Structure 1
Amino acid sequence: MNPRRKKRLTLAVALVFGLGATIGLMLYALSQNMDLFYTPTELVQGKPDGTKPEVGQRLRIGGMVVEGSVKRDPQSLIVTFEVADVGPAVTITYNGILPDLFREGQGIVAQGVLVNSTTIEAHEVLAKHDEEYMPPEIAEAMKKTHEPLQYSDEQKQGRVQ
């Protein structure tokens, strides 16, 4: 093999190796930052495709806060509560200030680490609300500035446009 071909071959092999290493490192980094979403039933029983999270895995879980399950530590900000959907409940422990919309019977999404098969240590809790929610300040301002529309009887019956 002449020196010119040998140099090209070495360069091509180095390029392929470098590209492979770069792609491998990118995939590894992405897998470390991926948070999979589970419902409480999927967390306990596994997803339909058979996947089940492992202890120590980062994940997100969403469900309804079980009535009567919220327990607050009086000495700290630690709150423990249960989240359920149609199946078994999962215990979530959170150390911090919960969102204003958090309450029993309300939907939440928690992001954290699986401690055991039915316990999650959350580092973020998001409270969900329905699409009709309006902050009280905005509702009050709208009442003051917007008068309800007045329709005549003809307009109500659809005769006049």
Structure 2
Amino acid sequence: MAIWPFSPGNYGAFLTDNLPLVKSLVQKLALNLQVPVSCKIRLFPDLQVTINYAKMLEEAGCSLFAVHGRTRDEKDGKKIRADWNAIRAVKDALRIPVLANGNIRHIDDVQNCLEETGAEGVLSAESLLENPALFAGYRTGEWILGSEGSDKVGKLDQTDLLVEYLKLCERLCHGE
């Protein structure tokens, strides 16, 4: 009986317990897809292990790499800062574009992260749930509808922003 490789707990950062499987997955995807393969990892406690892992994935066919600057055991991003220096070390070891993940809470963090890590871009997850307008330069509670001088000045709440986003998705998915 074959064992399904995606049994409970065998996904995401937990796949790092089986690096040959991860390498095989990336190789098969890179060889059989017509689109580029991207990978996202978390740091290992040992930075050199992280760098070796990143190089292995690049060699396996990954063409866009994202690094979350915390280990899989470091879950609380509000208490544990992402290690941008470790992301920089991974970036310096690879030839492919790297995206940095961790500590992006405000638009100012984007530029600081890019400068510190040398990454080509940034990712943000939980902060975007709290502030979907983060990349537009607004801090939570500061969202303004329209531009300065507009007659549409007023607070925009998360629900309104979500509805607008879903309408855009629907329109774009239907090719309008």
Superposed pair shares fold, TM > 0.5: no
The structure whose Rg is larger is: 1
TM-score, normalized by length of structure 2?
0.28
Q: Which has the higher contact order (CA 8 A, sep 6+)?
A: 1
More strand as a share of residues: 1
